[in-house]
Structure 1
Amino acid sequence: MVCYFRKWYAARCRIQLLLASEKTSAVVRHTESEGMVTLHDMLYTECPSLTDPERAHMTPTPYLATGLLQTIYATLRVRLRDKESDVSYVRELLVMADGGTVSLDWHTDASLDNADAPIVMVMAGVGGSSREHYIRVVVRALAHSAAGFRVVVFNHRGTAHTPITSARPYDQGFTEDFRAAVKHVRAANPDAKLVGVAFSMGANILTKYIGEEGPRCTLAGAVTVCCPFDVKVTSAAIDESNMLNNHVFQPAVMRTVMRAIERGSHLPLDPAWNLDIDKIMSAKRLSVVEKELITKICGHKSIDEYYENASSIRYVDSIEVPFLAINSLDDRITPARGIPVDKFKTNPNIALVLTPHGGHLGFLTGIPPRIWLTTPIVEFASAVVK
């Protein structure tokens, strides 16, 4: 009976992989020994965690069996320090064209002295940075993989104590800072292959950036996790009044956002923006900050226009590099209804992984809980830089 239950439960935790047909799948590399290797070939031969019938499942930790529990647990341990997340960084500051500043936290590892070694650029979600537990776990896994990645975390304006030098904040669809960072890393490492890995809001920015770049994109490939392809759908979901939003997600995000606003209070404000400072400073919801601050400073006519302009769903069809998106079907922050499933069946360059469980940035399996995501991310990133 126990054995039967395990098999039954494992079957219910099997992931779903969606991509174009084997015949139309895009070629990702062509070598003398392998011939033409397509995205389909690469996934089914080099990413067993996604395609091997015995391994292609995300079985949640028994006491974290729902998306809600996965999300809460992951949020509460965001500052956890353990051996899987033990990393250190060297910081590099980049000043943008408008005077704003972002930071690049390079993972330090004395063994990575090869200037041609592939580089992974990692980006967190709203309010997140190189300090988040899940970011540090992924950074360490990539750095210690057989591919020998050099890893750098892109920190948005005002996050991880990055100096605030411009009144222009980052937002859910602002790609210019990341674009400048890619150009900078590419210029300093002309012979290295670059891979993007991003989470939540950062995933939306990465997706939008790759689509905007189209055939000009210099990334060898990318992986996104919990991407809010339709920002309006996600914003409505996180604005709902429920236990997760009221007591976990919104407070965590707003603490970071408000600290950044307070740190930038010395900057001059354009009277034409007509900002309601009292309303912004007393905000308890991210949507209020977006409506009263981001929409006005960034020149959108309304918050709905901002959501439409920020959404990466409009750019998925234009992606021309190997691209893997991982989303959970029980994610309450980036609901499944916002995922453009059909686009993954028609664009030959992209693939979508849907897990029945995982919540938002959880994907916790085993006892004690460990992050399942590291294996597929390392597999895919390693495959695209071959």
Structure 2
Amino acid sequence: GRSVRVRAFNRRGWDAVAWNCRGCSGEPNRLVRFYHSGSSDDLLAVATHVAGITGHPLLLVGFSLGGNMTLKLMGELGEGAPPWLTGGVAVSVPCDLRASGEVMAQAANRIYMQRFLGDLREKIRTKQARFPGPLLDDTGYEELRSFRDFDNRYTAPLHGFRDAEDYWARCSSRFFHDRIRRPALLLNSEDDPFLAPECFPREVAAHHPWFHLEVTVHGGHVGFVGGGLEPGEYYSERRAIEFARDFCTDPIA
């Protein structure tokens, strides 16, 4: 979990800050908007605040949805990235939201999809109690079968996108990789059940001086068990630490 990742950095003398997306900290979000895979504005606000307090360079580390945010933000900043941003590591990232959504909608992933939609319904109901209105109405929610359904009904209208397709096109980090101008590592596994072939940007990585892609045979989705530098650590933490050592000094992760 998150505490394991934080401790992995702490043991090597790094300070680490773990942040929560909107509505995921146990406290209700005060705005009607949620978090989503493209919420790089929130990530930038938190990172800028931390860098300002500490005065140290900063390495961003994101997993799954957070990894998509990380790579998207780095691409958005591009040549204008602030001096405190020294690099980023992203693990198990659905960098093509449309393609991954189609994979998740397949019968083999039905049990995962049901779990995700169930969790999201609880968030919708919590938000609806605070902000009554048609945008958050969950009538007929049980008819939703996929992320496309959910994003068309909730994510897009709540966050200013035309529809799910518009959201995916504007928020998939795949379309920002070529603009990254700080060292970035993407670690994805071939046996990740949530990722489509489009989530392995080999061609970009082959010709990009800043963007590095590592593909493992095993690891699933954020499940790189074993291979760590210490007992109980994951391979993903090991690679994040090694990458950080290569590109950062006196960092805060």
Aligned to 2:23: 158
Deviation at 1:372, TM superposition (A): 1.9
CA distance in 1, matches of 2:86, 2:8: 19
| Pair 1:253–1:277, CA change in 2 (3 A) | closer
CA distance in 2, matches of 1:331, 1:379: 22
The residue type equivalent to 1:158 in the other structure is G
CA contact under 8 A between 1:211 and 1:320: conserved in structure 2?
yes
Aligned to 2:11: 144
2:92 aligned with 1:226: yes
Gaps of 5+ in 2: none
CA distance in 1, matches of 2:133, 2:159: 12
CA distance in 1, matches of 2:65, 2:246: 25
CA contact under 8 A between 2:113 and 2:145: conserved in structure 1?
yes
CA distance in 2, matches of 1:331, 1:184: 33
Aligned to 1:196: 60
Aligned to 1:185: 50
Aligned-pair identity (%): 27
Deviation at 1:314, TM superposition (A): 1.2
CA-atom RMSD, angstroms? 2.1
Aligned to 2:176: 315
Q: Which is strand-richer, 1 or 2?
A: 1
CA distance in 1, matches of 2:152, 2:117: 14
CA contact under 8 A between 2:4 and 2:233: conserved in structure 1?
no
The residue type equivalent to 1:296 in the other structure is P
CA distance in 1, matches of 2:213, 2:226: 20
CA contact under 8 A between 1:280 and 1:292: conserved in structure 2?
no
SS at match of 2:17: strand
CA distance in 2, matches of 1:345, 1:162: 43
CA contact under 8 A between 2:100 and 2:195: conserved in structure 1?
yes
**CA deviation string 1:248-273 (max 9, x = no partner):** x22443343222222222333566x5
Aligned residue pairs total: 244
| Pair 1:208–1:165, CA change in 2 (3 A) | same
CA contact under 8 A between 1:220 and 1:385: conserved in structure 2?
yes
The residue type equivalent to 2:70 in the other structure is L
Pairwise mapping of residues 56-135 of structure 1 onto structure 2 (< 5 A)?
133=1, 135=2
CA contact under 8 A between 2:105 and 2:145: conserved in structure 1?
no
2:235 aligned with 1:375: no
2:113 aligned with 1:246: no
CA distance in 2, matches of 1:348, 1:269: 49
Q: Which is helix-richer, 1 or 2?
A: 2
Aligned to 1:262: 125
| Pair 1:299–1:185, CA change in 2 (3 A) | same
Deviation at 1:163, TM superposition (A): 2.2
CA distance in 2, matches of 1:240, 1:246: 7
CA contact under 8 A between 2:39 and 2:69: conserved in structure 1?
yes
SS at match of 1:154: coil
CA distance in 1, matches of 2:105, 2:163: 17
**TM-score, length of structure 1 as denominator length:** 0.59
CA distance in 2, matches of 1:369, 1:254: 31
SS at match of 2:120: helix
Q: Which has the higher Rg, Structure 1 or Structure 2?
A: 1
Deviation at 1:302, TM superposition (A): 2.1
CA contact under 8 A between 2:189 and 2:216: conserved in structure 1?
yes
SS at match of 1:224: strand
**CA deviation string 1:10-69 (max 9, x = no partner):** xxxxxxxxxxxxxxxxxxxxxxxxxxxxxxxxxxxxxxxxxxxxxxxxxxxxxxxxxxxx
Deviation at 1:326, TM superposition (A): 0.5
Aligned to 2:200: 339
SS at match of 2:139: helix
SS at match of 2:19: strand
Aligned to 2:222: 361
CA distance in 2, matches of 1:310, 1:351: 20
CA distance in 2, matches of 1:163, 1:187: 26
The residue type equivalent to 1:228 in the other structure is P
**CA deviation string 1:196-255 (max 9, x = no partner):** 00011111111000100112223111110011111101111111122xx222x2244334
Deviation at 1:362, TM superposition (A): 1.1
SS at match of 1:326: strand
SS at match of 1:278: coil
SS at match of 2:213: strand
CA contact under 8 A between 1:164 and 1:263: conserved in structure 2?
no
CA contact under 8 A between 1:326 and 1:353: conserved in structure 2?
yes
